Amino acid sequence: MLRQVILAASRSAAARRVVERAPVSRAVVHRFVPGAKVDDAVAASRALLASGRTVTLDHLGEDTHDAGQAADTVKAYLELIGRLADAGLTEGARAEVSVKLSAVGQAFDEKLALAGATAICEAARTVGTTVTLDMEDHTTTESTLGILGELRRDFPTTGAVLQAYLHRTETDCRDLAVAGSRVRLCKGAYKEPASVAFQSKGDVDRSYVRCLEVLMAGEGYPMVASHDPRMIAVAGELATGRAKGSYEYQMLYGIRPAEQERLAGAGETVRVYLPYGDEWYGYFMRRLAERPANVAFFLRALASRS
Ligand code: FDA
């Protein structure tokens, strides 16, 4: 129930104004978003790589309905990739990028979004790294997988994200569990209707395990994106037949850092999803929706200021 309310607020302009203006928001957001500037992103990436983890960076922003803004997002990614390369962080895809197609024009011009994503993939390849396409709400799934298919013709390392809460995802996993295919499996973070998505945590978790079984048995490169100890344990069991480095674990910046370090210390590849930028509202609200403890943390910070 709380999750549904917060996810509805994540799409509300009025709620956005309230949360963005709350005096404590920035301090709380800082736990999940290390900063607004590319310098902050590079510094946080350097620290994570030094600790034995790898990163995927997200320039925050989504739902663009403006060609100028879409072009600015592409420019921001090109600058980011250049800065990561200058810092020596991109070789072997130790630092890669994650892109939301809605931030580069998908909602109003798919060709523009494809052109923007192509420019980002080109820049990434030049400096030895990769791009993963984030997955947004279910109305974009078909379009995103279509654009992924186009990109993979020229940039076969382009990664996909699949969301276990969608009924269709087990089939999508079968289609994408092929050699060279990088697939990030997450549970899914949007408010979705019962017609397309499992609604209970138990059903989502069972779907996650079924999808993971398909990916781990396939020839692709599974990316296990979850903080859930049960999913991580299942992934470990399913990976017993696979060489380390033929799959990876992924978690969000600021969430279960000790577990990230434990896995990395055990010789696993661990990639941290690192968002940066001013447009933190939607990302932050989805993190609150995932975990009541995060809401309590936010409210406690508010109360201590009042
Ligand atoms: P879930 O939220 O079900 O939590 C299960 C358990 O995990 C909890 O009971 C607790 O034990 C532990 N846990 C979770 N959060 C914790 C915390 N803050 N502190 C301590 N323990 C915690 N979604 C999407 O729709 N599209 C996308 O492109 C992406 N991309 C993406 C990339 C990466 C790298 C990750 C890790 C996640 C995404 N997501 C996403 C978000 C994803 O869909 C999902 O909403 C969150 O990861 C939360 O689901 P979990 O699997 O972590 O478990």
The answer to whether residue 293 scores a pLDDT higher than 80 is no
Q: Confirm if 101 and 117 have CB atoms less than 8 A apart.
A: yes
The answer to whether residue 306 scores a pLDDT higher than 50 is no
Q: Whose CA is nearest to atom 3 of ligand 1?
A: 228
Q: Which residue has the higher pLDDT, 290 or 88?
A: 88
| Catalytic annotation present for 174 | no
Q: Which residue is catalytic, options 58, 94, 134, 137?
A: 134
Measured in residues, the chain has a length of 306
The closest-lying atom of ligand 1 relative to the alpha carbon of residue 293 is 18
Q: Which residue is catalytic, options 53, 94, 184, 271?
A: 184
- What is the b/e burial string over 54-82, where b = at least 16 CB atoms within 10 angstroms of the residue's CB? bbbbbbbbbebeeeeebbbbbebbbebbe
Q: Whose CA is nearest to atom 45 of ligand 1?
A: 189
- Give the integer Cα–Cα distance in Å for 121 and 118: 5
CA of 154 to the centre of ligand 1 (A): 31
> pLDDT tens, 1-13?
778 888 887 778 7
Q: Whose CA is nearest to atom 2 of ligand 1?
A: 290
| Catalytic annotation present for 184 | yes
φ, ψ for residue 129, nearest 5 deg: -130, -175
- Give the integer Cα–Cα distance in Å for 57 and 99: 8
186 lines ligand 1 (CB under 6 A): yes
SS (H, E, C) the chain: CHHHHHHHHCCCHHHHHHHHHCCCHHHHHCCCCCCCCHHHHHHHHHHHHHCCCEEEEEECCCCCCCHHHHHHHHHHHHHHHHHHHHCCCCHHHCEEEEECHHHHCCCCCHHHHHHHHHHHHHHHHHCCCCEEECCCCHHHHHHHHHHHHHHHHHCCCCEEEEECCECCHHHHHHHHCCCCCEEEEECCCCCCCCCCECCCHHHHHHHHHHHHHHHHHCCCEEEEECCCHHHHHHHHHHHHHCCCCCCEEEEECCCCHHHHHHHHHCCCCEEEEEEECCCCHHHHHHHHHHCHHHHHHHHHHHHHHC
The answer to whether residue 305 scores a pLDDT higher than 70 is no
> pLDDT tens, 16-74?
777 777 766 677 788 899 988 999 999 999 999 999 999 999 999 888 999 999 999 99
Q: Whose CA is nearest to atom 12 of ligand 1?
A: 228
Region 134-163 average pLDDT:
98
The closest-lying atom of ligand 1 relative to the alpha carbon of residue 188 is 43
Q: Give the pTM.
A: 0.93
290 lines ligand 1 (CB under 6 A): yes
Region 266-291 average pLDDT:
90
For a substitution probing ligand 1, which of 28, 63, 133, 227 has the most ligand atoms within 8 Å of its CB?
227
Question: What percent of the chain has pLDDT above 70?
Answer: 96
Region 108-124 average pLDDT:
98
The closest-lying atom of ligand 1 relative to the alpha carbon of residue 290 is 2
The closest-lying atom of ligand 1 relative to the alpha carbon of residue 134 is 28
Q: Whose CA is nearest to atom 6 of ligand 1?
A: 228
- Give the integer Cα–Cα distance in Å for 120 and 76: 10
